[in-house]
Amino acid sequence: MTEKQRVKIEKMSSPVLKMGNVEIVLGKVEDAWDEPMGPTPKPRLADLRDWDMKLLNRYEPFYSPICDMCCMCSYGKCDLTKQRRGACGLDMRTQQARTIAMESVIGAACHGAHARHVIEHQIQRLGRDYEIDMGLNIATEAPVTRAIVGIKPKTLGDLEEAMEYAEGEIQNVLSSIHTGQEGDYKDYESKALHIGMIDNLVKEIADIAQIVGYDFPRGDPDAPLVEMGPGTVDHKKPVVLMIGHNVAAGAEVLTYAEAYDKLDTIEIAGICCTAHDLTRKNPKAKVIGPMSEQARYIRSGIADVIVLDEQCIRTDILEEAKKVGSVVITTSDKLAAGLPDMTSRPADEIVDKLVSGEIPGALILKPEKVGEVAVKTAEMIAPLREGRKAIPSKRELVKEAKKCTACEACMRHCPVNLHISDALSAAKKGKLKALEDLRERCIGCKRCEAACPKEIPIVSLMEKASEKMLKEKKCKLRSGRGPILDTEIRNVGPPIVFGEIPGVVAFAGCSNYANGAKEVPEIAEEFLKRRYIVVASGCAAMALAMYTDEEGKTLYEKYPGNFDAGNLANVGSCVANAHILGAAIKIPHIFARRNLRANFEEIADYILNRVGAVGVVWGTYSQKALSITTGLNRWGIPVIWGPSGVKYRRLYLGRRDQPEKWEVYDAKTGNKVPAGPLPEHLTYVAESKEEVIVSIARLVMRPNDTTKGRQIKLSHYIDLHRRYYGGMPKDLPLFIRTEGDIPITEKETVKNILKEAGWKETPIPDPTLLERMIMKRV
């Protein structure tokens, strides 16, 4: 790797010069990392374009334009329908691809700015030379960074080199979106894929810096079970609620409370990923839930102080907080919320102004000061706020419900099509069960309230109807374990690659669920029982903890936290999902001994053809979920979105009716051979829970599966198809290469299907899309 040499001079005196406390950076030298530099260190856009085009020719982008116009420059706005071009010459397809590239940049920039902030903060706390130590069982400390950047980071300062590269790429792709730049949709997609890969990189950087700086678990499968749910917070104590994704400020709240022995006298809780990371720092912190809880939890009035950091935060938090007298502290220059900058003021002065109501909140950019102010303010303001909430009484609820004229504007504006007016009709008669049931599926976006001509506070009515249930809602979430251990990869690498562990299913992303969060654990458990490896991060990892079985246990209590068959591993927050990709990358490196260093294409080719991993983002909402998905796609990992994902406007879909697109090289012979539509899609939208379950079973198949592995995968596919679709799958001939692939228990039935379809045997290749990986030419 490259490494800066530093000389620190504490004091020097000569006839011409006097100086002190000076650090001199002498330059960079190559160290003794014995892995040779691969072909693409710090790849620029064009370096991996060939790989992208291989993917894009097979998985031709599908566009569903949300908007018919382009409104991005003052030539327009331009109507792009019916093959029209805009004033700059751009067509509809390219405009969609451009938007995808732009949204991916936004997602990557969010994770990147997060990473930059965490690195700077940790370097300020611990120094640039602070060692990156990921523990005894993690030698491959930064697989994504190694594969992309070609460095092996040893210190916090080393992460800056990777960060500088990433920032340059983000700027470059962003510039391509300017009017009159790129004009080809596939090239825009290549840029989106590139920036998705950069997103993977900056997430890994951010989480390594967090793990090292805050001493988070380093791949601990037994990370503690922590409390989650609205019912876990003791309302009688002062409550500090953190919302967002960057735990820097929240960590200091914990540090202050720890230092002054207040952890048992105040409640520190979080919503969204910052909550995950609070529990990684101290398991006494509590998790309220995912983003959907923000507005309604604030309306409950329980939080005395609300600390906002960054990303996925409702922009009306301050307004909601004012209704219940909660104080808001913003902690990032990216989200100042119009509040006065109090960073330079003494902590006690800020506390006084907040408690007296002189200011509704404050912007404080020093995390340590946030810790002190938040805790002190919560303690002082809690007795003054007692009983304040924006939830109606039952009588008020009925009165509000009676205003409803059943115009159904609420339902038409609801992103998940909830039958709200039916529930309000029942509520008029004092029957609240329907409203309570709706809350289970509500995503908390408040679009119904905005649409209601009678200004009924619908979300608050649901909250009231669910009051008893919410008080009792407590569950157990396994705190984020961080990376997957190298030792775990050694154990599961071979069975994954040969197909004997039928697949890895990774749940990630937001809480914009079409049919309630409950479907996420239902999907996960289907595969846990079948001994797939299930991993999770972000809001999806919280959804997995929100429901209990008849014995009151969540999935985290029922299934161990290892990266192993039939296990459920929560890696942590959104940035921690880089470790899920990291596990896929480690398989070719550790098990197949492929070089990792700056060797993106070879590793991605390996994953695409051999590692049966599938991502599920069942509640897509943010640009970050898009960049996460697009990044995984470039590495050859398919991702299934829930129905809301179609509003991102682009998918990567394969076509099984075009067999010529599914040929691969057999690396042993150099022949091009059919490899089935595997994996059939890179980004797919499923319509229902049933469809996602069946699709997962299909998308984990890979050309490299051994016959035994394919048998196992097909037996799950057939069984799940029978159970959820009501019969045998009709497409089996596409996935059977030799009779040895047929599950033994289905031999006769499947043979008949093959006969009817005129099926012919095909060879099992040593699959690759890269010509340079061919070992022998015929």
Partner 1 sequence: MRPDVAARIILKAEKPLLVVGAEIADHGGAPLRTAVRLAQELEMPIIATAHSCKFLEKEGFTNYVEMGLVELTNAASDPEWQGVEGYGKPDLIIVFGAHLDLMNALFQTLKSFSDIPTLSISRYFMINADFSLPNLDEDLWLQSLEDLCREVEKGRAKAPL
Report 510-549 residues binding partner 1 (CB under 8 A): 514
Write down the least CB distance from residue 647 to partner 1, Å: 6
Detail the DSSP E strand segments found in 313-418: 327-330, 361-363
Among 33, 42, 63, 706, binds partner 1 (CB under 8 A): 63
> Taking CB under 8 A as the rule, does residue 653 contact partner 1?
yes
* Ramachandran sector of residue 643 (left: φ over 0; alpha: ψ -120 to 50; beta: rest): alpha
Q: Please identify, using beta-carbon distances, which residue of 92 and 362 lies nearer to partner 1.
A: 92
DSSP 428-486: HTT--HHHHHHHHH-----HHHHH-TT---HHHHHHHHTHHHHHH--EEEEPP--SPPH
Quick one: which segment of 365-373, 438-446, 548-556, 649-657 binds partner 1 (CB under 8 A)? 649-657
> Taking CB under 8 A as the rule, does residue 263 contact partner 1?
no
Q: Please identify, using beta-carbon distances, which residue of 355 and 653 lies nearer to partner 1.
A: 653
Write down the least CB distance from residue 437 to partner 1, Å: 15
Residues contacting residue 613 through CB under 8 Å, at least 6 positions apart: 496, 503, 504, 505, 506, 584, 607, 637, 700
Measured between alpha carbons, how far is 400 from 461 in angstroms, rounded to an integer?
8
Residues contacting residue 243 through CB under 8 Å, at least 6 positions apart: 270, 271, 272, 274, 294, 306, 307, 308, 309, 313, 317
User: By three-state DSSP, how is residue 152 classified?
Assistant: coil
Report 127-146 residues binding partner 1 (CB under 8 A): none
Residue holding tokens 């596990």?
A: 583
> Taking CB under 8 A as the rule, does residue 643 contact partner 1?
yes
> Taking CB under 8 A as the rule, does residue 412 contact partner 1?
yes
Write down the least CB distance from residue 708 to partner 1, Å: 27
Q: Please identify, using beta-carbon distances, which residue of 268 and 404 lies nearer to partner 1.
A: 404
Cα-based angle 89, 93, 99 (whole degrees, multiple of 5):
90
Q: Say if residues 611 and 584 touch (Cβ distance below 8 Å).
A: yes
Total residues contacting partner 1 (rule CB under 8 A)? 40
Quick one: which segment of 58-66, 313-321, 344-352, 740-748 binds partner 1 (CB under 8 A)? 58-66
Among 695, 704, 711, 715, binds partner 1 (CB under 8 A): 695
Q: Please identify, using beta-carbon distances, which residue of 403 and 730 lies nearer to partner 1.
A: 730
Measured between alpha carbons, how far is 719 from 698 in angstroms, rounded to an integer?
12
Measured between alpha carbons, how far is 48 from 45 in angstroms, rounded to an integer?
6
Report 718-737 residues binding partner 1 (CB under 8 A): 724-727, 729-731
Single-letter residue type at 267 = E
Among 237, 345, 647, 751, binds partner 1 (CB under 8 A): 647
Measured between alpha carbons, how far is 329 from 662 in angstroms, rounded to an integer?
54
Write down the least CB distance from residue 726 to partner 1, Å: 4
Among 188, 507, 606, 684, binds partner 1 (CB under 8 A): 684
Residue holding tokens 């038409």?
A: 412
Q: Please identify, using beta-carbon distances, which residue of 31 and 687 lies nearer to partner 1.
A: 687
Binding mask of the shown chain, residues 431 to 470, with x at each position contacting partner 1 by CB under 8 A: ----------------------------------------
Q: Please identify, using beta-carbon distances, which residue of 417 and 738 lies nearer to partner 1.
A: 417
Q: Please identify, using beta-carbon distances, which residue of 44 and 730 lies nearer to partner 1.
A: 730
Among 66, 71, 136, 450, binds partner 1 (CB under 8 A): 66
Quick one: which segment of 336-344, 430-438, 484-492, 678-686 binds partner 1 (CB under 8 A)? 678-686
Quick one: which segment of 75-83, 272-280, 447-455, 769-777 binds partner 1 (CB under 8 A)? 75-83
Measured CA distances, 257 to 262, 266, 409, 455, 499 (Å): 5, 8, 46, 41, 49
Q: Say if residues 293 and 303 touch (Cβ distance below 8 Å).
A: no
Report 79-118 residues binding partner 1 (CB under 8 A): 80-82, 92-93
Three-state SS for 731-765 is CHHHCCCCHHHCCHHHHHHHHHHHHHHCCCCCCCC
Measured between alpha carbons, how far is 532 from 242 in angstroms, rounded to an integer?
34
> Taking CB under 8 A as the rule, does residue 64 contact partner 1?
yes
> Taking CB under 8 A as the rule, does residue 413 contact partner 1?
no
Quick one: which segment of 20-28, 459-467, 469-477, 690-698 binds partner 1 (CB under 8 A)? 690-698
Quick one: which segment of 317-325, 391-399, 651-659, 660-668 binds partner 1 (CB under 8 A)? 651-659
Residues contacting residue 726 through CB under 8 Å, at least 6 positions apart: none
Q: Please identify, using beta-carbon distances, which residue of 302 and 697 lies nearer to partner 1.
A: 697
Measured CA distances, 18 to 12, 23, 635 (Å): 6, 14, 54
Phi, psi torsion values for 671, nearest 5 degrees: -75, 150
> Taking CB under 8 A as the rule, does residue 22 contact partner 1?
no
Measured CA distances, 147 to 14, 381, 512 (Å): 47, 50, 33
Quick one: which segment of 74-82, 171-179, 363-371, 736-744 binds partner 1 (CB under 8 A)? 74-82
Q: Please identify, using beta-carbon distances, which residue of 82 and 593 lies nearer to partner 1.
A: 82
Nearest to 108 by CA among 204, 21, 187, 4: 204
Q: Please identify, using beta-carbon distances, which residue of 331 and 695 lies nearer to partner 1.
A: 695
Q: Please identify, using beta-carbon distances, which residue of 6 and 722 lies nearer to partner 1.
A: 722
- Asked, as a colleague might, if the bond just before 457 is cis with ω within 30 of 0, I would say no
Measured between alpha carbons, how far is 216 from 578 in angstroms, rounded to an integer?
15
Among 405, 417, 752, 762, binds partner 1 (CB under 8 A): 417
Measured between alpha carbons, how far is 173 from 603 in angstroms, rounded to an integer?
23
Write down the least CB distance from residue 108 to partner 1, Å: 25
Write down the least CB distance from residue 65 to partner 1, Å: 5
Under the rule (CB under 8 A), what is the footprint of partner 1? 60, 62-66, 68, 80-82, 92-93, 408, 412, 417, 514, 643-644, 646-647, 651, 653, 655, 657, 684-688, 690-691, 694-695, 724-727, 729-731
